[in-house]
Amino acid sequence: MAELDLDKLTMDPAAQELLKKAQAEGVETIFDRAKTMKPCPIGIEGACCRICAQGPCRVPPPKKKPGEEMPEEKKKRMGLCGATAETIVARNFARMVAAGTSAHSDHARGVAKLFIEVAHGRTQGYQIKDVTKLRRVAKDWDVPVMEGEGDDAKPRSAEEIAKELGPKVLAEFGQQDGEINYVRRAPKKRQEIWRKLGVVPRGVDIEVVELMHRTHMGVDQDYKNLIKQSTRCALADGWAGSMISTDLQDILFGCPVPVAGEINLGVLKEDHVNIVMHGHEPLLPEMLYVAAQEPELIQYAQSKGAKGIQLAGMCCSANEVLMRHGVPVAGNYLHQELAVITGAVDAMVVDVQCEMQALENVAQCYHTKIITTDDRAKMPLAEHIPFDEHHALDVARKIIREAIDNYPNRKAPVMIPQESSPTVVGFSYETIQYLLGGSIRGSYYTLNDNVIGGRIRGVAGVVGCNNCRTAQDTSHMVLIKELIKNDVIVLSTGCAAMAAGKYGLLTPEGAKYCGPGLAEICETVGIPPVLHMGACVDNSRILMAATACVKAGGLGTDISDLPAAGAAPEWMSEKAIAIGQYFVASGVYTLFGVNWPTTGSEILTDYLFKGIEEELGGKWDFEADPEMMAKKMIAHIDLKRKALGIDKARERVLFDMDMRREMAEAAAGAEEH
C-alpha cells in the first residue's frame, strides 16, 4: 500500500490514528484508493454522456491557455446525436438533482407509511410523542384538530388527527396536479416568484419522473429548460420530501430540544458491546435505542463478559438519535471504515444512503458484523435482517442479540482512539424560536433584532458531507471558524454539523472563537455559535428558520433579502446537489467546495453562477479554498445588509464594543496595579 500523508487526508487525530492501524494491519481504506484511483477528468466536468448506447460521448472543453481566445470551431462541441456540451452537462446535473430528491423523498415516504400504521395502532414500539407538533402540522394540512361546534368543541385525539393526516401527507408523493402543500409555508413573495416561473412542484414523484424523462436521449435539449425542471424537482425535495420527513419524525419521535451529546470514535467502549447505527432513517435506530436499555439484553451482554451495551451513531442516523436522545456519535461519513478498524464494533447496522460497500470488505478483516436492514439496500457479504415496523422492537432485539453474540469473537488488537468532544445539539426551528425569539413576539424577532442591530452580521448554513478528495473536516473547520469570527452565526446539519462537534464548536464555549457580537449572544443565551439542526433532511428546518426571519419583519420581504448564505465545502453526494438547488431556488447564495460538476460547459456554469439569480434571487458558486469561501459569503452578507440599509448599525455596534472592551481592559489593568 502507498504511504499516506495523514495531515492531507484528515485533520481528525482519531482518524489519523486508525489510518496508521489500518496501514500496520494491511487493511485498505477509501483513503488508499483515493491515492491510486484519480477521478476521470472528463466525468468530473460533467462532460461525458452515457445515456444511450451510441455513446459514451465525451465533450470536454478544449484546453486553452489563460487569456487565449477559443477558435469558433472548437467552441462547438457535441455528442453523436448533436447534443451540445450544455445539454450533456445539464442532463448530468439534472440527474443528480433527481437522485438526491429521490433519496430524501423515498425516506419521507417510509416515514409517512409508518405514521399511518402508528395512527392505527398496528406497529410495535412506536407512538405519537409530540402531540403539540402534530396539532400544528395538522392545521397546515387543513386537518381539523377540534371536534364539535362552538362551546361544545373539544380537542380531537392524537390518533384521530393522525389517521386523517397520514393519508393526506402520503398522497403528496403521487399528486399529479396543483401545488405541494408546504409551498404555502414560504414567504408570499417567494411563492409568487415560483408561480410566475412555473416551478411550483405538483407532487413529489411526478417531478422526479418528469426530470428523468426529460434527460432521456433526445428529449429536453435546452439547458435552461432542464435547469428549470431541476428547480421544480429540487423544490419538491426541500419543501415536500425533506420537510415531510422532518415533520413526521418530530411528531413520532419528538421535536428536538437542546440535549447534550458526545462526538467521535472515542465514544466506543472497549468493555462494552458496541453497536454502530449507520445510515439515514431513524425508524429502526429509535427501536434499537429502546431495546438497548432493556435489562434482559443488558444482562445477556454481561453473560458474554461485556459490561453493557454501547450504541453509537454514524452519518445522519447518528444526527437523528443524537438530537432526540443524546445517543453518542461515532463519526461522520469518512469514519465508517475506521470504526470497524478499531476492532471494537460488534455490529454495524445500516439502512440506506452513504454506506460504502467497502464496509463489507473491511469487516472481513475484523470480527464486525455488517447487518443490512432495508430491502432496498443490501450488500452481498452482509447479513440481512429486514426491518418491519409491525415488529420493530423484536427486530431491534434480534439485532442487539446478534451483536452481543459477536462480542466474544473480537480478534484483532482493539484500539479505540481517546478523542471525543462534548456537544449541545437539538436546535430545531422551534427551539431556536423559543431561545432567540423572545417570549413577547413569539417569533424570530429577537434574532432579527440582533441582525438588524449588527451583533449578528448574518446567518450561514454550513452543511454537507466529507469527501475523500479533500482533507476530512478541514474545509468545514476553516470555513466555520472564519464565519463565526466575523459574527456570522452558523446553522448546520449532516456531516458538517458532526465535524463542528468534533472540534468543540457545538458547545457554548465555542464562543471563544467568535467575534465580539456573536460571542455576546452565545454567552447571554447560552448557545453554541454553531447550531446543530439535525440530519440532511432537516435542512428543511433551515428553510423554515429563514422563512420565520422574513415573517418576523425588518429584514426584507423574501428569503433572498436576508443577510444569509449557504455552503457545502466537502460535499460528495447527489443529495447535496438537490439540496443546493432548492436553496438556490429559495433565494440563497450557495457555495460548494471540492469540485463543481458543470465545468464542462462554461455557458451552463455561467448561468448557474450568475444568470439564474435574476430569476430566483439565489445563485450557485464554487470555491475550493474555504477561507476564500468564507470571504465570499461574508461579502454577500454585507451586500444584503447594505441593501436593507442596516450596514451602518453594525459599524456602530463594533465601535461600541471596542470602546467597551477598552474600558474593560482599562478597568482590569487598574485592578492589577
Interface with ligand SF4 (CB under 6 A): 49-52, 54-57, 79-81, 83, 88, 217
Q: Please pick, from the candidates 31, 173, 223, 333, the single residue that binds ligand NFS as defined by CB under 6 A.
A: 333
Residue 665: how many other CB atoms lie within 10 Å? 10
Is the Cβ of residue 101 or residue 123 nearer to ligand NFS in the bound state?
Answer: 101
Q: How far is the CB of 575 from ligand NFS (least distance, A)?
A: 5
Is the Cβ of residue 116 or residue 542 nearer to ligand NFS in the bound state?
Answer: 542
C-alpha span between 645 and 648 (Å, rounded): 7
Is the Cβ of residue 209 or residue 217 nearer to ligand SF4 in the bound state?
Answer: 217
Q: Please pick, from the candidates 175, 420, 573, 598, the single residue that binds ligand NFS as defined by CB under 6 A.
A: 573
C-alpha cell, 29? 481504506
Q: How far is the CB of 91 from ligand SF4 (least distance, A)?
A: 8
Which of the choices ligand NFS, ligand SF4, none does residue 315 contact, using the CB cut-off of 5 to 8 A by kind?
Answer: ligand NFS
Does residue 465 belong to the site contacting ligand NFS (CB under 6 A)? yes
* DSSP code of residue 407: G
Does residue 359 belong to the site contacting ligand NFS (CB under 6 A)? no
Residue 435: how many other CB atoms lie within 10 Å? 17
Going by C-beta distance under 8 Å and a sequence separation of 6 or more, which residues neighbour residue 212? 95, 98
Does residue 315 belong to the site contacting ligand NFS (CB under 6 A)? yes
Is the Cβ of residue 52 or residue 209 nearer to ligand SF4 in the bound state?
Answer: 52
Does residue 243 belong to the site contacting ligand NFS (CB under 6 A)? no
Q: How far is the CB of 55 from ligand NFS (least distance, A)?
A: 28
Which of the choices ligand SF4, ligand NFS, none does residue 573 contact, using the CB cut-off of 5 to 8 A by kind?
Answer: ligand NFS
Q: How far is the CB of 580 from ligand NFS (least distance, A)?
A: 12
Q: How far is the CB of 497 from ligand NFS (least distance, A)?
A: 9
Cell 464565519 maps to which residue?
A: 483
Q: Please pick, from the candidates 494, 510, 515, 587, the single residue that binds ligand NFS as defined by CB under 6 A.
A: 494
Cell 419521507 maps to which residue?
A: 108
Is the Cβ of residue 81 or residue 644 nearer to ligand SF4 in the bound state?
Answer: 81
C-alpha span between 52 and 49 (Å, rounded): 8
Which of the choices ligand NFS, ligand SF4, none does residue 465 contact, using the CB cut-off of 5 to 8 A by kind?
Answer: ligand NFS
Is the Cβ of residue 123 or residue 332 nearer to ligand NFS in the bound state?
Answer: 332
C-alpha span between 147 and 126 (Å, rounded): 25
Do 434 and 446 meet the contact criterion of CB atoms below 8 Å apart? no
C-alpha span between 84 and 49 (Å, rounded): 10
Which of the choices ligand SF4, ligand NFS, none does residue 49 contact, using the CB cut-off of 5 to 8 A by kind?
Answer: ligand SF4
Q: Find the helix packing angle between 295-303 and 392-406, rounded to 10°.
A: 20
- Which range, of 170-178, 569-577, 599-607, 661-669, touches ligand NFS by CB under 6 A? 569-577
C-alpha span between 178 and 203 (Å, rounded): 8
Is the Cβ of residue 244 or residue 316 nearer to ligand NFS in the bound state?
Answer: 316
Q: How far is the CB of 333 from ligand NFS (least distance, A)?
A: 4
C-alpha span between 532 and 423 (Å, rounded): 9
Does residue 451 belong to the site contacting ligand NFS (CB under 6 A)? no
Do 323 and 532 meet the contact criterion of CB atoms below 8 Å apart? yes
Dihedral through CA 644, CA 650, CA 653, CA 655, nearest 10?
A: -140
* DSSP code of residue 374: B
Q: How far is the CB of 77 from ligand SF4 (least distance, A)?
A: 10
Does residue 582 belong to the site contacting ligand NFS (CB under 6 A)? no
C-alpha cell, 170? 402520503
* DSSP code of residue 346: E
Is the Cβ of residue 52 or residue 377 nearer to ligand NFS in the bound state?
Answer: 377
Do 421 and 502 meet the contact criterion of CB atoms below 8 Å apart? yes
* DSSP code of residue 238: I
> Bridge partners of 303?
none
Three-state SS annotation for 584-598 = HHCCCEEEECCCCCC
Which of the choices ligand NFS, ligand SF4, none does residue 171 contact, using the CB cut-off of 5 to 8 A by kind?
Answer: none
Which of the choices ligand NFS, ligand SF4, none does residue 236 contact, using the CB cut-off of 5 to 8 A by kind?
Answer: none
Sign, Cα dihedral of 95, 97, 103, 108: negative
Is the Cβ of residue 81 or residue 415 nearer to ligand SF4 in the bound state?
Answer: 81
Q: Contacts by 133-136 with C-beta closer than 8 Å and gap 24+?
A: 133/247, 133/250, 133/251, 133/255, 133/430, 134/158, 134/161, 134/162, 134/165, 134/251, 135/161
Does residue 534 belong to the site contacting ligand NFS (CB under 6 A)? no
Q: Residues, the chain, total?
A: 673
Is the Cβ of residue 51 or residue 536 nearer to ligand SF4 in the bound state?
Answer: 51
Q: How far is the CB of 88 from ligand SF4 (least distance, A)?
A: 6
Is the Cβ of residue 100 or residue 343 nearer to ligand NFS in the bound state?
Answer: 100
Residue 67: how many other CB atoms lie within 10 Å? 5
Q: How far is the CB of 355 from ligand NFS (least distance, A)?
A: 9
Is the Cβ of residue 9 or residue 119 nearer to ligand NFS in the bound state?
Answer: 9
Which of the choices ligand SF4, ligand NFS, none does residue 464 contact, using the CB cut-off of 5 to 8 A by kind?
Answer: ligand NFS
Edge-first strand order for the sheet with 458-462 is: 530-532, 488-492, 458-462, 564-568, 589-592, 619-622
Which of the choices ligand NFS, ligand SF4, none does residue 55 contact, using the CB cut-off of 5 to 8 A by kind?
Answer: ligand SF4
Which of the choices ligand SF4, ligand NFS, none does residue 575 contact, using the CB cut-off of 5 to 8 A by kind?
Answer: ligand NFS
C-alpha span between 660 and 551 (Å, rounded): 33
Q: Which residues bind ligand NFS (CB under 6 A)?
A: 280, 315-316, 332-333, 354, 464-465, 494-495, 535-536, 573, 575-576
